[in-house]
């Protein structure tokens, strides 16, 4: 693929696929993977031409995402967080001319970015985030302090797009939240890696920001409600990761079912195995249709947050089911460390948790039905039923009146 084309229908990531087991085993993305991504144009697919992208149509984008996720989920996560999610956040809320210096190196593969939201004690609930930006004083600019944890690309990113609270002085009635574009190669930044169950090739860990500097142009106040619209690109990323994992798991299960002979016949001739494979095929194809619809809606500039939220729930949990069936069809081989379906099952679980938990997305879907927010209110279930009163003090249940 070269820069003259905006639409491509086939992507060859076979080299990345060959190295997928090595990527998982060593917990490192091989440098050749990045070269292959740059040569394919993958990093530039999601951005318009005016900022250095290829302006590919949404179906081309989704085909590329699925192809890379099938080849190596860890490589897919690392590359797509940087080239899709982080670039979308920068271009949506900052001045593309001012921040061309940040965007173009990400699209060319010269630099890598991470989106830092979660903290050691904060996940999907933004209200628990404590990372704060404040004015630096006479020197100008701003400084940021806090710790971000469980962040894709944190151990080796060059740039962090950080969601933080904004210290507001008297008279400042702007948004309480901001996006800070933080150069990670400066004093005041340290990082660490976190071991994990799946997506082992993906760099994953934490950032400790101890009064790291932020240029005045690299701080963008953003209403938290508005930010959720752009963050939905991350949910879409997870969904295509899930589709790719599910396709790989189904392909592995189908090959094994055709090759393995048991009780005088291939597993593929057994009705129970056929039903499992057919169920997986139906679920994957249905998910892909929903995902393509969501991508087209989002690329057209329409709000598809609720649709993508429901997609993320269904796609990621579907992939776990498909991977579990693949393990079952392989039997003991499927739970052997280093086997393809064992690796895919671990990767599938990570997509459910990453980006935004399914439980919280279900609450959002319920709110979209007009049910209102999920709010806790204390309620005494016991007293109205007459339970909890034990005159005899024996077992917590009321005693019947003595017989006359």
Shared domain for 175 and 272, answered yes or no, is no
Shared domain for 243 and 214, answered yes or no, is no
Shared domain for 196 and 74, answered yes or no, is no
**290 or 169, higher pLDDT:** 290
The pLDDT confidence band at residue 142, using thresholds 50, 70 and 90, is very high
Residue 364 to residues 52, 128, 245, 310, 394, Cα–Cα distance (Å): 35, 18, 26, 9, 45
Rounded mean pLDDT of 192-210? 95
Pair 175, 102: CB distance under 8 Å:
no
* High-pLDDT (> 90) share of the chain, %: 66
**391 or 335, higher pLDDT:** 335
Output the pLDDT for position 401. Answer: 55
Output the pLDDT for position 390. Answer: 56
Answer yes or no: is 128 within a domain.
Answer: yes
Given a cut of 50, is residue 315 above it in pLDDT? Answer: yes
Given a cut of 80, is residue 8 above it in pLDDT? Answer: no
Output the pLDDT for position 156. Answer: 95
Shared domain for 20 and 140, answered yes or no, is no
The pLDDT confidence band at residue 303, using thresholds 50, 70 and 90, is confident
Half-sphere exposure of 256 (CA within 13 A, CB side): 21
Given a cut of 90, is residue 356 above it in pLDDT? Answer: no
Shared domain for 76 and 204, answered yes or no, is no
For the chain, the domain total comes to 3
Pair 351, 387: CB distance under 8 Å:
no
Output the pLDDT for position 90. Answer: 94
Pair 84, 53: CB distance under 8 Å:
no
Q: Residues 197, 201, 204, CA angle at the centre, nearest 5°? A: 70
Q: Give the DSSP H/E element, type plus range, for residue 221.
A: strand 219-221
Shared domain for 181 and 74, answered yes or no, is no
Shared domain for 74 and 144, answered yes or no, is no
Over residues 100-134, the pLDDT tens digits come to 999 999 999 999 999 999 998 876 777 788 999 99
Look at residues 54, 80, 111 and tell me which one is the last residue of a structural domain.
111
Structural domain boundaries, residue 145: 114-222
DSSP percent split of the chain into helix, strand, coil, nearest 5: 50, 15, 35
Over residues 49-99, the pLDDT tens digits come to 999 999 999 999 999 999 999 999 999 999 999 999 999 999 988 887 889
Answer yes or no: is 385 within a domain.
Answer: no
Q: Give the DSSP H/E element, type plus range, for residue 209.
A: strand 204-214
**188 or 388, higher pLDDT:** 188
Answer yes or no: is 276 within a domain.
Answer: yes
Here the CATH number for the domain that contains residue 354 is 1.20.140.10
Answer yes or no: is 376 within a domain.
Answer: no
Q: Can you tell me the distance from the alpha carbon of 64 to that of 295, in angstroms, rounded to the nearest whole number?
A: 13
Output the pLDDT for position 10. Answer: 72
Q: Can you tell me the distance from the alpha carbon of 354 to that of 346, in angstroms, rounded to the nearest whole number?
A: 13
Over residues 13-61, the pLDDT tens digits come to 999 999 999 999 999 999 999 999 999 999 999 999 999 999 999 999 9
Over residues 165-181, the pLDDT tens digits come to 998 877 777 888 999 99
Look at residues 159, 193, 222 and tell me which one is the last residue of a structural domain.
222
Rounded mean pLDDT of 155-170? 91
Answer yes or no: is 153 within a domain.
Answer: yes
Please enumerate in sequence order all residues whose Cβ is within 8 A of that of 236, keeping only pairs 6 or more positions apart, or say none.
Answer: 291, 294, 295, 298, 308, 311, 312
The pLDDT confidence band at residue 7, using thresholds 50, 70 and 90, is very low
Here the CATH number for the domain that contains residue 171 is 2.40.110.10
Shared domain for 319 and 264, answered yes or no, is yes
Given a cut of 60, is residue 191 above it in pLDDT? Answer: yes
Shared domain for 61 and 184, answered yes or no, is no
The pLDDT confidence band at residue 388, using thresholds 50, 70 and 90, is low
Output the pLDDT for position 325. Answer: 97
DSSP secondary structure, 124-163, as one string: S-GGG---EEEE--TT-SEEEEEEEEEEETTTT-SEEEEE
Q: How far apart are the first and last CA of the chain?
A: 93
Given a cut of 80, is residue 4 above it in pLDDT? Answer: no
Answer yes or no: is 134 within a domain.
Answer: yes
Here the CATH number for the domain that contains residue 51 is 1.10.540.10
Shared domain for 74 and 203, answered yes or no, is no
**292 or 303, higher pLDDT:** 292
DSSP state, residue 391: T
Shared domain for 234 and 360, answered yes or no, is yes
Answer yes or no: is 402 within a domain.
Answer: no
Shared domain for 231 and 363, answered yes or no, is yes
Mean pLDDT of the chain, nearest integer: 88
Answer yes or no: is 2 within a domain.
Answer: no
DSSP state, residue 329: H
Pair 244, 69: CB distance under 8 Å:
yes
45: left (phi over 0), alpha (psi -120 to 50) or beta: alpha
Q: Can you tell me the distance from the alpha carbon of 182 to that of 102, in angstroms, rounded to the nearest whole number?
A: 10
Given a cut of 80, is residue 400 above it in pLDDT? Answer: no
Q: Can you tell me the distance from the alpha carbon of 65 to that of 202, in angstroms, rounded to the nearest whole number?
A: 16
Look at residues 222, 242, 269 and tell me which one is the last residue of a structural domain.
222
Given a cut of 50, is residue 404 above it in pLDDT? Answer: no
pTM value is 0.87
Rounded mean pLDDT of 238-264? 94
């Amino acid at each position: 693929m070269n820069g003259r084309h905006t639409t491509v229908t086939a992507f060859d990531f076979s080299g990345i696929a060959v190295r997928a087991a090595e990527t998982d085993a060593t917990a490192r993305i091989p440098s050749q993977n990045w070269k292959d991504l740059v040569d394919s144009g993958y990093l530039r697919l999601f951005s318009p031409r005016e900022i250095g992208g290829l302006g590919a149509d949404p179906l081309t984008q989704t085909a590329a995402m699925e192809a890379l996720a099938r080849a190596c989920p860890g490589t897919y996560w690392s590359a797509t967080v940087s080239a899709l999610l982080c670039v979308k956040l920068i271009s949506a809320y900052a001045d593309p001319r001012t921040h061309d210096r940040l965007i173009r190196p990400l699209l060319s593969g010269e630099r890598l970015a991470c989106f830092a939201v979660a903290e050691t004690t904060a996940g999907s609930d933004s209200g628990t985030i404590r990372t704060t930006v404040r004015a630096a004083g006479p020197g100008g600019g701003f400084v940021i302090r806090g710790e971000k944890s469980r962040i894709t690309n944190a151990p080796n990113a060059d740039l962090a797009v950080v969601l933080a609270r904004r210290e507001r002085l008297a008279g400042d009635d702007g948004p309480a939240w901001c996006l800070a574009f933080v150069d990670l190669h400066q004093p005041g930044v340290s990082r660490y890696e976190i071991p994990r169950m799946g997506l082992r090739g993906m760099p994953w860990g934490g950032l400790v920001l101890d009064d790291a500097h932020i240029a005045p142009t690299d701080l963008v106040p953003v209403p938290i409600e508005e930010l959720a619209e752009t963050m939905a690109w991350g949910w879409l990323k997870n969904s295509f990761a899930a589709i790719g994992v599910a396709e790989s798991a189904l392909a592995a299960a189908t090959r094994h079912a055709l090759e393995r002979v048991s009780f005088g016949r291939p597993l593929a001739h057994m009705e129970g195995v056929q039903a499992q494979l057919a169920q997986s095929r139906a679920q994957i194809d249905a998910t892909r249709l929903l995902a393509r619809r969501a991508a087209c809606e989002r690329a057209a500039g329409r709000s598809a947050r609720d649709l993508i939220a429901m997609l993320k729930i269904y796609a990621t949990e579907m992939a776990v089911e498909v991977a579990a069936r693949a393990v079952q069809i392989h039997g003991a081989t499927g739970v052997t460390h280093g086997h393809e379906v064992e690796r895919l099952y671990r990767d599938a679980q990570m997509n459910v948790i990453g980006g935004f938990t399914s439980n919280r997305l279900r609450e959002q879907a319920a709110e979209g039905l007009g049910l209102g927010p999920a709010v806790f209110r204390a309620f005494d279930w016991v007293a109205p039923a007459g339970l909890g009163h034990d005159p005899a003090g024996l077992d917590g249940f009321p005693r019947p009146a003595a017989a006359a």
